[in-house]
Structure 1
């Protein structure tokens, strides 16, 4: 498929300018400190709700049924510690008498040994983690967010001063594919038409969508993961979703760096798009600052997150059992129906938001869904990092906590 060599060869009908007089007067403006407070409240609220209730951080003598992770690990990458029955070598026999024998991990096709951190189980920070195991999830989410912040720096270094021209050219290529390629039948409604429908007759609804764009992406996703940490049937199931979300992030970050793409709202004004989120003072505080990549439209992680969340809800509602893939949910019919409806409505609602606010193209959402699918298939790639985690915890002198996911209220340690 031949792509247009310059921006002047593209004709995108209709491209009349959006009403210049439109400038919403928001009924309420979220203070800059409110969104971080919301996210922090969700995270620390999750820490409190998923705490190990019958465990005391200060009372070491009773131990409070504290079972170190190394003796009861739910990570499938772990192999039982060396023991007398291990026939591998004399080394296994000599280490069997140790109080904290080395741990064996499966790494690719190898079995390697890593430090056993159970000796640090009674360190103060280990006991805090055992009491509040969700703190470990918070650490890795913060690390992922930090990696996102780096994409702007790395992308800028790759493309230097040409990054904006490259991003605009890539954006116009997307419009060309949607409207003039053999795939145009899949995109019968143009993005500009969707936004003009809201601009022309539904400005109040558009204001709601602007607020949703800011509040759904990070606070909404964090809330879901915090809820799912407690609601998942076990931590192994939660870990699949968490790893899928993380790998989806990293794949998207790579695309952001190698394929800068200008969102519709930043295209030249003759294309008719309006940056409604900024004009409505509804921009997320997390999307501000010099380290934010504003040329990261492809793929849409707004839709990628919502797609993963929606598919997770459909899975637990039994929506895929007809395919032979599913989860037997014994909850009431009303709850399963609600999960199923939400699983469909949430990603569709986010898709409407990102298009109506001119932040993404249809193809961005398609790419996001594909990225999420690849992440699901390859999510176990992160298991190879488990030995590295063992070494990090050894350096920090902390024992990795057992998770409370899937434990019933009365059955927590």
Structure 2
């Protein structure tokens, strides 16, 4: 393994902590996430649509829905245009969908004929269920990263390789030209909290446990409700999803040990696992404990912060279609929240020795790259169409922002 030039000769003494986290956290966190999701499903339900209503309800909904017209994943056919070169397809009652895939037009089955099936009507009533499905798929890919890493590097060697990568990150930060950008060492930052500020560190442990998944899910639920249209929401969702996939690929091909797992001579202390303070989301056989680079904690937080600042409208001259004007106080609050949230998460992940500064820097670039390339996921729409056809299911028309804007959009 690599040498340890950054090792701290005076390792931090174990702090005198108070009580550890209550045992209730093992069920409280999943209940919190489930509650957020089900509340989002309820608040974003379509009030003017009945699961047991008439078969004409869907046709009226499709004609009136602003969200459907502004969504990037809407099929590109025009049944009213006889000059359309694809008119031969659009003349039927359920014309094939015309998708643009890698510069090529692909025709896929139109599942709208299944719109009045019972399971389709459930989705039309509760369209946020489709967002829940997308994040289940995300979690499934994450659960595979640990196993794939062990297969690629051989299980016994993964730990040593990840430790080399972790110490390499410290070397870059502290002994290379880039050291001017990292004047405060992670170990010094953590020890400030451990020497006389353990109550604050205990609070940060709780934040680390509770903020990552519930906070991210809460943002998705909130933005689905307040976004001016589904296209705007989808950009945020696709950006976060692509951030996930880039991070998962990095976890698999370049496993990195977090500071808290480095040998003791480096001076870091594993505060999150002290007295069962860890989150249920960082436990279990599917959790990849060697996925420090890039930091998904900070990546999500940066996405959320950027989303809040964008939603404030303070840096935009024009409003999105369907977007309401916000008060000056509202704009200031959104911007303040957009700055404060990722800053808080950065403090948490460094103070608890779960990440390096460079992890957060890498996460920032990953998010920016994901934003610029987020439309890459649109190439998967033909596969989604085929899946919906096989399930005899029609994709719901999104209700993004409908209820919020009808109430005046004053959040």
Q: TM-score, normalised by structure 1?
A: 0.91
Quote the offset at 1:68 in angstroms: 3.9
Task: Indicate which of 283, 290, 307 corresponds to 2:285.
Answer: 290
* Separation in 1, partners of 2:277, 2:63: 44
Quote the offset at 1:15 in angstroms: 3.8
Task: Indicate which of 167, 170, 173 corresponds to 1:175.
Answer: 170
What secondary structure sits across from 2:25 in the alignment?
coil
Distance change >3 Å, CA 61–CA 28, structure 1 → 2? same
* Separation in 1, partners of 2:324, 2:267: 47
Structure 2 counterparts to residues 1-400 of structure 1, below 5 A: 6-12=1-7, 14-26=8-20, 28-60=22-54, 63=57, 66-68=60-62, 73-77=69-73, 78-81=75-78, 85-88=82-85, 92-93=87-88, 95-160=89-154, 161-321=156-316, 330-400=325-395
Aligned length: 401
Give unmatched runs, 5+ long, in structure 1.
1-5
Quote the offset at 1:210 in angstroms: 0.3
Higher mean displacement: 286-295 or 217-226: 286-295
Distance change >3 Å, CA 392–CA 159, structure 1 → 2? same
* Separation in 2, partners of 1:187, 1:121: 56
* Separation in 2, partners of 1:198, 1:96: 65
* Separation in 1, partners of 2:386, 2:96: 12
Distance change >3 Å, CA 25–CA 310, structure 1 → 2? same
Q: 1:275-313 CA distances to partner (integer Å, 9 max, x unpaired)?
A: 101104221112211111100000000000000100111
Q: 1:225-252 CA distances to partner (integer Å, 9 max, x unpaired)?
A: 1011001111110000000000000000
Give the CA RMSD over aligned residues. 2.3
Give unmatched runs, 5+ long, in structure 2.
none
Instruction: Indicate conservation of the 8 Å contact 2:247/2:296, yes or no.
Output: yes
* Separation in 1, partners of 2:384, 2:117: 18
Moved >6 Å (runs of 4+): 324-329
* Separation in 2, partners of 1:15, 1:212: 30
* Separation in 2, partners of 1:314, 1:411: 23
Quote the offset at 1:315 in angstroms: 1.4
Distance change >3 Å, CA 70–CA 136, structure 1 → 2? farther
* Separation in 2, partners of 1:299, 1:291: 18
What secondary structure sits across from 1:302 in the alignment?
helix
* Separation in 2, partners of 1:70, 1:411: 14
* Separation in 2, partners of 1:96, 1:359: 55
